[in-house]
Structure formats: C-alpha cells, structure tokens
Structure 1
Amino acid sequence: MQKTDSPFVILFICMGNICRSPTAHGVMRHKVAARGWSERVHVDSAGTHNYHPGEAPDVRSQTHARRRGYDLADLRARQMVEQDFARADLILVMDWDNLALVQALCPPYAGHKVRRLTEFCQRHDAPVVHDPYYGGDAGFEAVLDLVEDACDGVLLHVERQGRRFL
C-alpha cells in the first residue's frame, strides 16, 4: 500500500457547526486516536452558514458527548470555505439541506467527495442526522447514536481503500 506524507482529511458539515458536525468531529477524532491514526487522519468540521463563528459547540452537545467519553470543548464553529473542497478527502454532511448547499458550492472536481454521513451507518437505518437544536435530550442522544455508528463505518471505508495512513 502506498504511503504519503499528507493525511487523509475528513470534514463534517452541518448548518451552524455547533451541534451535529462538532459532535461528529469529536467522536471521529476519538476513534481515530484510539486506532493510533492521529498522524495520518485529520478530522475537521464546519457549517454551511456563518451563524456562530468562533463559538464552542452547544453546551448540550458537549454534555451528551462528554457522558460518552468525547471532549468537544476545544472545537470552534466556522463556515465552510472554498478551500475545504480541495483539502478534504471526504466531506460528510448531516442532512438533505446541507447536502444541497454543499453540492451547490462544490466545484466539479470534488463532487465525489461529498456524501451523507448516514450512508456509512452499519447498525442504524436513517437517511439523515436530524438537528437536535430545538429539541430535548433524546435528540442529542440520537445524534450520538448515529454519529458513533457512521464514524465506525467511515473508518472501515477508509481502511478498505488502503488509503495513505496504513
């Protein structure tokens, strides 16, 4: 298998980058570290909108993630930028609106990189990761259930490709 010096970059996208995408970012970062891949796989997140630039993830997202052993405290919201399409190897969106917005911005060369996160779920059958922002605790737990499942699937996908970090 070919090795290179550039890491494999996974970018998670939701609307404001304060609930779903930072949760996925924190979960994936934890799973990558547990596999010893931190030097070979870079994880990032962003929002389609610039609603919360520089803000930490929603306190409810942080609380629920922390209960499962994931730390989101150092993450900060940002809006997706054009350079993300070139930099990322895989751009994983949370829902249909995110998908449409990202595809509308996506240059033709990068279209194959954009996927829904839930396409990688192994145990759950869900088309999207719903936004928990206006709901209660159950919504944040549902996000974590789907994200944990899908992140395992993403890592299997990347591993099966024999990509750059093996």
Structure 2
Amino acid sequence: MTNLLMVCMGNICRSPMAQSVAHRLAADAGLSQQLKFDSAGTHAHHLGERPDSRAQATLTRHGYDVGRNRSRRITPHDFQHFDLILAMDGSNLADLRRLCPPEHSSKLRLFLDFAVDLNETEVPDPYYGNAQGFERVLELCEAGIKGFIKQGT
C-alpha cells in the first residue's frame, strides 16, 4: 500500500480537490487497494471546516465525490505515516521542509512533479478568485494524479 498526502495551505481548496480526484482515478485504474490518499494543510485557519463550497461545486459538477473531508493541519505523525507528501506549491513545500524531520525529507515533492506533460510546477490557490480558478485547479489535479498513476508509483 502506498500512502499519499496532498498538502495546501488551508486544506479547503486544492488538497481536498486533489484527494477526491485521486480516489476516483485510482478506482478507475483498479488501484484502490494499492493506493490510499489523504489531505492536510500547513496552516490551521480553517480547521475542521468542509472544503470550500466552490471546490465542492466544481468536484460535483465533474462527477467527483466530495466525501466527508474536514480541514486538518499536517501533524508530526503524517511525516512518518505517508510514503509521499505532495505540496501544491513552493510556499507549502518550504513550510513542509521546515516542519519535516530530516529522516523523512525525501518524501516531500511538488504535486505537479508527476504532471510531466505540463510546463507548470504549482497548483495556484483559487481561494480569492472565481469559479474559473477552481476549474483550473481541477484540471491540474487530474494531470498530477494521472501522471502519478502512469508512472506506476
């Protein structure tokens, strides 16, 4: 079993969207038993909240299950438990590097490292934008997860 953790700042937009996409695309590829996904944030601004309503609407519109996710902050246990910890952008990756024990630093990567066909390295934060920003995040989440699955990791 490979355990992946997707991380953004507040855990209400990008990382829960990536988690929902990952669940379905892994199931579609017959990998539900081999891959487990979760999400967290580097900050606790929205602790315990459901994903942003715009994130939920975007996921639902595209047939993804939003699930029962609640925002949570990354914990010291996460660095031990997860095989890969994927940051949505460089700022969150820097935060993760500061929090991560040195023996687990090799688990930290950018989420879009797996989207080799893209020229983008970061999933932009759609929180202060409009619905189009959430659509773009969904496209990038699909590219990242498809790339991960394709690499057979």
TM range (shorter): over 0.9
1:69, 1:124 → 2: CA distance? 23
Matched residues, number: 153
The one of 89, 98, 123 equivalent to 1:129 is 123
Moved more, 62-71 or 7-16: 62-71
1:21 maps to 15
Q: Measure how far apart 1:36 and its partner are.
A: 2.2
Matched, 1:57 2:51: yes
Matched, 1:68 2:66: no
Q: Give 1:33's aligned amino acid.
A: A
Superposed counterparts of 1:141-160, under 5 Å? 141-157=135-151, 159=152
Deviation track 1:16-63 (CA, whole Å, cap 9, x = no partner) reads: 000000000000011111122222211000000111122110010010
Matched, 1:98 2:81: no
2:9, 2:122 → 1: CA distance? 13
Q: Measure how far apart 1:124 and its partner are.
A: 2.3
Aligned-residue CA RMSD in angstroms?
1.1
Q: Measure how far apart 1:123 and its partner are.
A: 3.1
1:78 maps to 72
Q: Measure how far apart 1:119 and its partner are.
A: 1.1
**Partner SS, residue 12 of structure 2:** coil
TM value normalised by structure 1: 0.88
Instruction: Compare CA radii of gyration and give the structure with the larger one.
Output: 1
2:105 maps to 111
1:36, 1:119 → 2: CA distance? 23
Q: Is the 8 A contact 2:2 2:35 kept in 1?
A: yes
State the 4+ residue runs in structure 1 displaced beyond 2 angstroms. Answer: none
Q: Measure how far apart 1:122 and its partner are.
A: 3.4
2:67, 2:84 → 1: CA distance? 24
Moved more, 105-114 or 17-26: 105-114
**Partner SS, residue 70 of structure 1:** coil
1:34, 1:20 → 2: CA distance? 21
Q: Is the 8 A contact 2:20 2:67 kept in 1?
A: no
Q: Give 2:25's aligned amino acid.
A: K
Q: Is the 8 A contact 2:114 2:148 kept in 1?
A: yes
Q: Is the 8 A contact 1:56 1:73 kept in 2?
A: no
1:73, 1:26 → 2: CA distance? 7
**Partner SS, residue 132 of structure 1:** coil
